[in-house]
Amino acid sequence: MKEEELDIIVPVALETDWGSRETIVESILEQNKLFGFTKFALAMPGKGWRSVSYPPEEYFLEKAMLFLAVKKALPEHIRCGWWHTLVLKSGPTPGFARVVRQDGTEAPFSSCPLDPGYRKRFSDDVASVIRIARPDFLLLEDDFGMNCHGGPGCFCPRHLEEFARREGRFYSREELRDLFENSPLESRELLRRFQTLQKDSLVLFAQAIRSAADREDPEISIGYDQPGCSMKDGGSVEAVARALAGKNHRPWARFCGTLYGMEQISRTPAILFSCLYFKQHIPADFGFYHESDSYPHTRFMVSASAMRVFMSAAYSFGYEGSVFQTQQILDDPNEEKAYGAMFAEERKRFNTLHKAVRNCRVRGVHVPFVPFDAVNFPKQGPAWAGVLSAMGIPYTTDEADISFVSGDQLLFADDRTIRSCLSKGLFLDGPAARVLCNRGYGEYLGVDVQFPLIEGMEKYDLEAREVICPEFLKGNKGRNMHRGDVFSPLGNGDVFKLIPSAPGCETVTEIVTFRREPMAPGMTRFRNRLGGRVVVCASEVNGNASSSLFNYRRQKLFQELILWCSDSVVFVKNEPRVFCIVNEAPEDEDFRYVLTLIDLCPDPLAKLELHLPPDGRKDIGWKIMDREGVWQEAPVKKTEDGILLEHPLPYAVPVYLMAEKKQ
């Protein structure tokens, strides 16, 4: 594979639906002929074993011979690795300890990685298959986790004994359950240490696998599929991948980032947020593969267009490849051809994108994310990510001139982190502002925050409004927005009462009743003595899908207030639901940006207007990628604050722009 090409791994079932050597080879050759794929992961054991037991040794020997027969029947340019699809989840087997849940029950089909007998047996079977089948690589299934068995980790005797050794005292399962369920804030650090134990038990298991593989083939590369629970397993993904890689290989993993069984393309920016976080927070010596999985892999559930959007975004984030499910998991697996055909059509463009952005940094406004808190405590997640993307505002998980904070994200933050946020551009939703007020930082916000704003009969006022103050209209013909409690089938979030508390605090919007009686500010802005510029919104972002938040006027307000904080952000003007990803090039490159623009609204756009920071408007020439992956002159006109792209944006078809430096 050339360095500038994406690395695509296509899974193929070796056992499911009783395939033979001939049918398996036929399906691989068809994938190669029709779509050009050359790297496959032959998957076994099948997940039917969850209902029976861990497979016997004879099974692995038999399947290893089938693997070898398939591999020998294929041309040399086709590579075959082994996708081991049964790591911890198999049926109950005498002699192997089960994962014990928090309630004391045993998981019906999960073995404990701290059981030395299971660890040895599993590793020996891996070694046997490697010795016989000689796979080109090994990929391990995403059941390689401790929180994917029906409880927050394993509470078996071995785990409890090891935890007691680390803590210097014994905690019973019942005691831990009581602390974690009834005193979550007080036991936060205890939970962190308990989850670290879960991670360490997975690392021990991974080390045993690497050691066994090295006995047979020290050159084999081993990676794994990140479990959805990895952030609850002490943030295990990097540590497990490094243990599997060993000292002589580059660690790699397939990262979660898809949506099973449903078509919701507009959720892409929120779903892929964690993909960007890991890419920006794990060192660069790591291999990042996207979970390009449309389960159950037919267009009855998920379109190829949706997969194009997910893959385009992942590659824009700098991912170097995918574990790409192109086949339905049934006999005649190539019956669904849309996914492979989509990739064949997009291959040149994807590869050109990959080559362009591999040394870039994804830029935008900063949305903070602390994985441990996000998965263990309510309202700690990156709620702003989906909101911002719907408004054409790009996000990053790296530090930036402006941060958007929601909910309880600063509840556990230290003073240094909070003051850093308060010293630059900062947007807060109502609950985030209240957290800071309760922690003694209200003077830097310019407002006090109380709850609730809307009480009693007032909650039945269906014509209440949030009105933009005249000095902030900025070209808006309309002034009114729905109040935060407007009817919303998918939820509103709460509305908080903002009370200006400092001279210089400006009211941006005013919440009024249907009689135009003022209630409280809806948005404020304030320059504090730390030099920060703080915007506070009365409404909550978590769980808010209302027209009060998502509307053209709010979009313009947010964008104008971003400029007030710092004119350092590229964004899409006037249009809803255009996902904008900004890649900023290193100084030594001959271009400044690569922009990925994806229309996530089914209505196509004929043109698009972009705001650019001042340094992005000077000495720049614009290129657009054509269908062959070649950069061509872009149909662009300069505007007062950016550019007008006179090129259509079809639904779910990415457009890539490059801002070249003029010599």
pLDDT, averaged across the chain: 96
CATH number (3.20.20.80, 1.20.1250.20, 3.20.20.210, 3.30.2030.30) of 7-98+110-148+204-359 reads 3.20.20.80
> Would you state the structure tokens that stand for residue 166, as one six-digit string?
């680390």
pLDDT over threshold 60, residue 391: yes
Question: How many Cβ atoms from other residues are within 10 Å of residue 416's Cβ?
Answer: 8
The rounded Cα 513 to chain-centroid distance in angstroms is 40
Q: Average pLDDT for residues 326-348, to the nearest whole number?
A: 96
* pLDDT score recorded for residue 554: 98
CA neighbours within 13 Å on the CB side: how many for 230? 25
- Residue among 170, 167, 110, 118 nearest 143 (CA): 110
pLDDT over threshold 50, residue 383: yes
| pLDDT bucket at 149, cuts 50 / 70 / 90 | confident
Question: How many Cβ atoms from other residues are within 10 Å of residue 147's Cβ?
Answer: 22
User: Cα separation of 413 and 421, whole Å?
Assistant: 11
How far CA 188 is from CA of 36, 147, 180, 317, in Å, comes to 50, 17, 8, 32
pLDDT over threshold 60, residue 305: yes
Indicate the helix (H) or strand (E) that contains 322.
strand 321-324
Instruction: Please list, residue by residue across 367-393, b when 16 or more beta carbons sit within 10 angstroms of its beta carbon and e when fewer do.
Output: bbbbbbbbbbbebbbbbbbbbbbbbbb
How far CA 389 is from CA of 453, 518, 600, in Å, comes to 28, 31, 10
> Would you state the structure tokens that stand for residue 447, as one six-digit string?
């407002």
| pLDDT bucket at 1, cuts 50 / 70 / 90 | very low
Domain boundaries, given as residue ranges, for the chain:
7-98+110-148+204-359, 362-567, 585-661
**Strand, coil or helix: 593:** strand
| pLDDT bucket at 259, cuts 50 / 70 / 90 | confident
User: Cα separation of 13 and 329, whole Å?
Assistant: 7
Class of domain 585-661: mainly beta
User: Cα separation of 453 and 433, whole Å?
Assistant: 14
- pTM confidence score: 0.97
User: Cα separation of 621 and 662, whole Å?
Assistant: 6
pLDDT over threshold 90, residue 16: no
* pLDDT score recorded for residue 181: 94
pLDDT over threshold 60, residue 2: no
Q: Average pLDDT for residues 58-81, to the nearest whole number?
A: 98
How far CA 330 is from CA of 37, 52, 181, 303, 346, in Å, comes to 20, 21, 42, 18, 26
pLDDT over threshold 80, residue 499: yes
Q: Average pLDDT for residues 32-39, to the nearest whole number?
A: 98
Indicate the helix (H) or strand (E) that contains 254.
strand 252-255
- Measured CA angle at 48 (ends 43, 49), to 5 deg: 90
CATH number (3.30.70.1450, 3.40.50.1000, 3.50.50.60, 3.40.50.880) of 362-567 reads 3.40.50.880
pLDDT over threshold 60, residue 133: yes
SS3 content of the chain, % helix, strand, coil (to 5): 35, 25, 40
* pLDDT score recorded for residue 541: 98
* pLDDT score recorded for residue 11: 98
pLDDT over threshold 70, residue 191: yes
* pLDDT score recorded for residue 3: 61
Name the least confident of 70-74, 187-191, 203-207, 616-620. Answer: 616-620
The rounded Cα 484 to chain-centroid distance in angstroms is 28
* pLDDT score recorded for residue 474: 84
User: How large a percentage of the chain has pLDDT more than 70?
Assistant: 100
User: How large a percentage of the chain has pLDDT more than 90?
Assistant: 94
**Strand, coil or helix: 124:** helix
**Burial of residue 341 (number of CB atoms within 10 Å: 0-12, 13-18, 19+):** middle
